[in-house]
Copies of this chain bind each other. A is one copy, B any other.
Amino acid sequence: MAFPHPLDQLSVAESDIARQVILEAHGGSIGLIFRSIALEEPPKDELIKFLELENAGRLTFETPRPTRVAKVSYDIVRDDRSHEYTESFVDVQSATEVSRRIVDEVHQAALTTNEFREFTEACLASRLYQKAIAEFEIPDGFRVQIDPWPYGSDSVVTPRYTQGLCFAQDIRSGNEDSNHYGYPLPLIPVLDTYRKEIVRVDRLATGGKEDGLSHGTHSRNVLDLCAPAEYLPELLSRPLRASIKPLSIIQPEGASFQVNNNLVKWQKWISHWLQSSVLYRLSISEMTVPYGDPRPPFHRKQAFDFGDAGAGLIKYFDAILTEPDGTSSVSKNVVCLHEQDNGIGWKHTNFRTQRAVFDLAGGITLETRATGIVRVVNIDPGKRSPWGNVVSGGALTQNHQHLFCVRIDPAVDGYANTIIVEGSLPIPISKELNPFGNGYEVRQRPIKMSQSFDASPTTNLIVKMMNPSKQNPISGNPVAYKFIPSASQLLLAHPDSIMAKRAQFAQHHVWVTKYKEGELWAGGEFTNQSKKETGGVADAVARADNVENTDVVVLHTPVEIRQIHLRPADFFSTNPAIDVPGENNNASLLAPGSDLCCESGGVQKSPEAHLQGKGQI
């Protein structure tokens, strides 16, 4: 073993060194609250040198390795209980603090699980909250459950706030997992996060179309309308169906990939979370969830899952979590890697002999899904709302969007790449070129300066990430990887709204920027309570950098459920999957009692590797 790979996450020992360095630098632990301690990846040029030697199999004991640096994020708590959010960079080999930055107080760090934990405690202790909750008739056998949430943002400048969505939970069964989302309560306590004080309890509108933005139309026994919405088998009022027979996916010889810390080898891909001869980095860079209910305080309902809640920090198979005192704990298995059957890879049947060949070919598919439960708010009896749909008694789901941003840092056979926009366009009828009108034109345009643009299904717009210096020997075109950007709906909030200003990235489908060290987040590093996107894609594009034949980055904003297919374009000289064995899959069984079978010749299952996780993929 000896050295860690430069991209291996920090070990607990390295994390402890970083903590110790910071504690000593501040003269003891008093007044420091640690938020995270994580690997600061080496500068790209240093890392590339290492990776090129690694890919060439030329690593030795003497190979110079990039310095191992920890980024330590923490608060310095001042006497007046205000916090100074600080980022220090620590060389964990020499145990020295290399640099320090006190973040401008206009920015708020992401919420920590610890801050979430403290919310309910502060809430229950608050007289303001107790008085507000006493206005409601909570049935016997129910208790109040509070889901802490990012505060969102409006035009008022506020200190660090957290808000709580309140529900009642039926605990008469004694089951801790009884679904409280069947019983929403129309109030939101607001916490001053640092002072641990509930400063306000917002009241929620519960009316329908006819009530406009007003609230106060509900009754004291607002939960009488509500009904259980249980999903646990033991809490269901009907039996589970018995008609599903097991469908098992078995790999008797184990998986075809190997994992060594974070280094993944699968078939002909070698990737450290996907660093390869195609990509330097592939990641989900941000997701914002704006809600379309204009009734205050719902206008603040907008989550940034990465920037607000720190999902972006979880980017390893096992996540190292940082406690407030700077000590580390390991959270196992936050990301799942598996192979899965992807149906027929390719197939051709020679009609003369009826012989079929099934196989796999080399692309990358990113799929985003929203599979969760909806958080509801109250709606009065018999009313319907333009702002959502009634899904259970007295419970309204509010209209909202899920806008993911995928960040692609290409390395197509080298690091200097050009982004090409390609479209298929009709051409006029002419005797010389298109006498019968069936002809059409494939037009290409290189992106010269950083910019944003939108998907265009009417012209079948394709984004090609091309290496202009490497020619495909067969086609004569430069090697490339390509994808078709999804023409999904962009942010619906008004351009002048705070929601829109905070999520510039959600207002165009594709962004092309020059690579800049540390610029990883589409919506900027600090989204929590932000008034506008800062350091995100819009700022990156505004630099008006040359992006031709250089280290370029592409970002793409789709909504769920979307698949994005990265496909080779003039990249290979032959089908890269041509050497995949194509025997019949012996596990394909006939359905008993019928003579159903799959296609003659059997079905070859074509595997693909999947990375599922929150954060970098």
Contacts and interface: CB of A to CB of B under 8 A. Distances in A.
A57 interface: no
Contact of A249 (B390, B587, B592): B587
B373 A254 contact: no
A487 interface: yes
Main secondary structure of the interface of A (DSSP, over half): loop
A580 B499 contact: no
A596 interface: yes
A145 B238 CA distance: 63
Given A248-B251, A340-B341, A428-B494, A240 B433 contact: no
Interface string A584-596: 0111110111111
Contact of A475 (B391, B429, B433): B391
Contacts of A232: 357
Contacts of A603: 336
Interface in A278-307: 290-294, 296, 298-299, 301-302
Nearest to A591: B255
Interface stretch (A39-47, A61-69, A345-353, A408-416): A345-353
A296 B399 CA distance: 53
B253 A245 contact: yes
A41 to B, nearest CB: 22
Number of copies: 2
A40 to B, nearest CB: 25
Contacts of A58: none
B492 A440 contact: yes
9 contacts: A241-B579, A248-B251, A248-B252, A257-B591, A294-B437, A344-B369, A346-B373, A426-B492, A458-B487
Contact of A245 (B254, B296, B439, B496): B254
A592 B252 CA distance: 11
A249 B247 contact: yes
A362 interface: no
Interface string A242-262: 011111111111111111000
Interface in A485-507: 486-490, 492-494, 496-500
A459 B489 contact: yes
B494 A435 contact: no
A518 interface: no
A429 B494 CA distance: 7
Contacts of A458: 487, 489-490
A387 interface: yes
A432 B213 contact: yes
Given A247-B251, A257-B591, 13 more contacts: A231-B348, A245-B251, A248-B251, A249-B588, A250-B587, A251-B589, A259-B596, A290-B438, A318-B595, A337-B596, A347-B372, A399-B424, A429-B494
A355 interface: yes
Interface string A449-492: 00000010111100000000000001111000000001111101
Contact of A259 (B343, B581, B591): B591
A359 to B, nearest CB: 8
A21 to B, nearest CB: 30
A215 to B, nearest CB: 14
Nearest to A347: B371
Given A458-B490, A460-B489, A598 B344 contact: no
Interface residues of A, number: 144
A597 B336 contact: yes
Contact of A488 (B248, B429, B457, B575): B457
Interface string A356-381: 01010000000001011100000000
A332 B500 contact: no
A434 B570 CA distance: 50
Contacts of A436: 154, 294, 296, 299, 497-499
A258 to B, nearest CB: 7
A231 B474 CA distance: 17
A440 B490 CA distance: 12
A338 interface: yes
Contact of A267 (B177, B243, B257, B298): B243
A333 interface: yes
A319 B254 CA distance: 39
Nearest to A562: B563
A437 B497 contact: yes
A239 interface: yes
A126 interface: no
A134 to B, nearest CB: 24
A355 B179 CA distance: 12
A241 to B, nearest CB: 5
A373 B348 contact: yes
A125 interface: no
Contacts of A139: none
Contact of A439 (B255, B257, B292, B350): B292
- Give 3 nearest A-B pairs by CB, closest first: A437-B497, A294-B439, A437-B494
Contacts of A257: 591
Nearest to A251: B247
A4 interface: no
